[in-house]
Structure 1
Amino acid sequence: MIRGALFDMDGTLVDNTDVHFKAFEIFCNRYGVKDWQEKFAAVIGMGNGDILRALLGNEAVDKWGVEALADEKEAIYREIYAPTIAPVEGLRELLERLRREGVRCAVGSSGCRTNVDFVLERCRIGEFFEARVSGDRVSRCKPDPEIYLTAAAELGLEPSDCLVFEDAPAGIEAADRAGVRRTVALTTSLSAEALRTSSAAYVVRNFAEVTDEMLR
């Protein structure tokens, strides 16, 4: 059985892709950006620096600064998501099972630490995670493997001892490059058909569909 489980956050712990999309819509409208929707799908799962440059362009990002723009957008996201936030179906039950079986858990997210804490606290699942690795703690975000390498190290485990739960190609690539045992992909952000073209070992709708075989 696996010794560690590394969880992406956005689209994995919570089904929040639509909320981020709405937050980007509000944010981009403030800056007069009209064509951002077509670019968004290609950067799902990446860090805010990459996303903001793809959506707003280098000139706007250089003018206002990545940190200030990211803080503004994430504040919008937390404000509109707070009333309805909930974990993906079956997550708490899976976390309880992993704890009973001695599997150590960590979050590995390209999102900022404020958002990681927001999700874990609002969903009341923070107690299950021994490590929280966010995008602002690493020098390179997904698809670079640094986030998952760091998460495994903070659990005191080799990546090959760990399973990753992901929802986006950038995260699946990061897990592959980190050398994890396998990746389970959730269909919260993309279709099952799209995810089956990735290297994910399994594709599920939610955590209630995670089987014993996937955890070996």
Structure 2
Amino acid sequence: MIRGALFDMDGVLVDNTPVHVEAFARFCERYGVTDWRGKLAASYGMGNDDILRRLLPPELIRERGIESLAAEKERIYREIYAPSIRPVAGLRELLERLRTAGTAIAVGSSGPIENVRFVLDRCGIAEYFGFIVSGDRVRHCKPDPEIYLAAAAGLGLAPAECVVFEDAPAGIESARRAGAGRIVALATTLPAERLAATGADRIVADFTRIENLDEILS
């Protein structure tokens, strides 16, 4: 029986991958980094530190510091996204249905806490979430299972009692390694054909496609 719902943030609560790409474009242009797009595409779902270590020259990281660089990039992202941010289609309705069903709800994101609060507050959905795990509050980000283990524990549940909503292979692997009872993948960041290879239990375009909640929670 599923008693908890764990939501990734980027690509799940909000369809924001294009905004992150634009933020990385502006950020990398500042530092003369040109060969970043392919590396970024292979890093979706990972934490900022891991992504930046893939994208940036080691000498730049040594000079500026990984935390400072990550904070700079995320400030760009929030500035770009603030005027147009909105939740993924059907999210608010799904959250209300989950709450009515007595399902505990948490965020399990590799993003920094500032981004999580930004999304929850700007989308007006903070009230639905009983626990938050962000990438800067754990030792290991996705695909390591720590984030989803911590999110389930924060709700007082075993991972097997939780459904995880994800959009990226790294996050789906994290949920699987944590022992999630069910994994639902959203085809927001990647096409459904690619997500099919991840072994997710169900793939949907957005939350409006979840008509029968019992199929998720049973």
Tell me if TM exceeds 0.5.
yes
> Which residue identity lines up with residue 217 of structure 2 in the other structure?
L
* 1:61 Cα offset (Å): 1.5
Match of 1:215 in 2: 217
> Which residue identity lines up with residue 214 of structure 1 in the other structure?
I
8 Å Cα contact 1:202/1:214 also seen in 2: no
TM-score, scaled relative to structure 2: 0.97
SS in structure 2 at match of 1:49 = helix
**Residues 1:144 and 2:144 are matched in the alignment:** yes
Q: Distance in 2 between matches of 1:39 and 1:63?
A: 21
Match of 1:153 in 2: 153
Match of 2:65 in 1: 65
**Residues 1:114 and 2:150 are matched in the alignment:** no
Q: Distance in 2 between matches of 1:136 and 1:46?
A: 12
Q: Distance in 1 between matches of 2:164 and 2:67?
A: 28
Match of 2:165 in 1: 165
* 1:58 Cα offset (Å): 2.5
**Residues 1:23 and 2:18 are matched in the alignment:** no
Q: Distance in 2 between matches of 1:89 and 1:56?
A: 34
* 1:215 Cα offset (Å): 2.6
Consecutive unaligned residues in structure 1, runs of 5 or more: none
Q: Deviations over 1:101-122 (max 9, x none)?
A: 1000000000000000000000
Alignment of 1:6-155 (within 5 A): 6-155=6-155
Q: Distance in 2 between matches of 1:16 and 1:58?
A: 27
Moved over 6 A (4+): none
Q: Distance in 1 between matches of 2:127 and 2:133?
A: 15
Q: Deviations over 1:4-61 (max 9, x none)?
A: 0000000000000000000000000000001101111111110011100111132222
Aligned CA RMSD, in angstroms, stands at 0.8
Q: Distance in 2 between matches of 1:70 and 1:200?
A: 30
- Using the aligned pairs only, state the percent identity: 64
Q: Distance in 1 between matches of 2:83 and 2:188?
A: 20
TM-score, scaled relative to structure 1: 0.98
Match of 1:5 in 2: 5
Q: Distance in 1 between matches of 2:177 and 2:156?
A: 19
> Which residue identity lines up with residue 104 of structure 1 in the other structure?
A
Consecutive unaligned residues in structure 2, runs of 5 or more: none
8 Å Cα contact 2:74/2:115 also seen in 1: yes
* 1:127 Cα offset (Å): 0.1
